């Protein structure tokens, strides 16, 4: 257990930040799963709409530093490719 006042405060802050980061990470994964489910469903307009929502979620999480910007970009690129491939098929 932390002995100093500042160490106790840092421990409290770590718990709050961990919970917030965990929540945002879950939001990230859910957004990706929604797009993949929409693509699997075969409805082009729904897939594009969910992709737009997922894009903003992914950008928000990258901006906050939960994931690296390159990781966010990679996920957006791959999802975009799947949506576009579905649209042309």
CATH number at residue 42: 1.20.58.110
Q: How many domains does the chain have?
A: 1
Q: How far apart are the first and last CA of the chain?
A: 59
Q: How far apart are CA 27 and CA 53, in angstroms?
A: 11
Does the pLDDT of residue 1 top 90, yes or no?
no
Residue 46: inside a domain, yes or no? yes
pLDDT tens digits for 17-57? Answer: 999 999 999 999 999 999 999 999 999 999 999 999 999 99
Asked if residue 56 belongs to a domain, the reply is: yes
Please check whether residue 84 lies inside any domain of the structure: yes
Residue 4 lies in a domain: no
14 in a domain, yes or no?
no
Range of the domain at 73: 27-88
Does residue 20 sit within a domain?
A: no
Distance from C-alpha of 25 to C-alpha of 57, rounded to nearest angstrom: 10
């Amino acid at each position: 257990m932390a002995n100093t006042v500042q160490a106790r405060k840092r421990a409290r802050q770590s718990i709050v930040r961990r919970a917030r980061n965990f929540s945002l990470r879950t939001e990230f994964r859910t957004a990706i799963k929604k797009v993949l489910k929409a693509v699997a469903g075969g409805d082009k307009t729904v897939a594009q709409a969910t992709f737009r929502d997922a894009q903003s979620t992914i950008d928000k999480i990258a901006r906050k530093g939960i994931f690296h910007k390159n990781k966010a970009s990679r996920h957006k690129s791959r999802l975009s490719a799947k949506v576009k491939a579905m649209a042309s098929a």
